[in-house]
Amino acid sequence: MTNRDNTTRTDTTTRTQTTARSTPTRPPAARRYPNNEENMDAPLVPFIRQPGEDDEMTTIRRELAALRAQLNRIERTMQPTDTQ
């Protein structure tokens, strides 16, 4: 396709130039920054850890997973068997 001007086709021989409509622009909204009290109420964001670095929460999650697996094994062994 060819790159044509912004025109309106009235028939096959005559073209008239169109004008862009001017739309009212909205003024930019004023940005509201939090004050110190709001900053104190904000949740704390943990520091970014390096990959492979263990922290306390990772250790706790691993211990919970091990305890959950151990509990599942105990519950399976305590279930009555239906072999009569």
Q: What is the pLDDT of residues 59-73, one digit of tens each?
A: 889 999 999 999 999
Instruction: Give whole-number Cα distances, 56 to 59, 63, 69, 81, in Å.
Output: 5, 11, 20, 40
Q: What does the alpha-carbon distance between residue 21 and residue 80 come to, in Å, rounded to a whole number?
A: 80
This model's pTM is above 0.95: no
Give Cβ neighbours of residue 8 (< 8 Å, ≥ 6 apart).
Answer: 15, 16, 18
**42, 34 contact by CB (below 8 A):** yes
Buried b or exposed e, range 20-53, using 16+ CB within 10 angstroms: eeeeeeeeeeeeeeeeeeeeeeeeeeeeeeeeee
Tens of pLDDT, residue by residue over 31-60, are 777 677 766 666 666 666 666 666 788 888
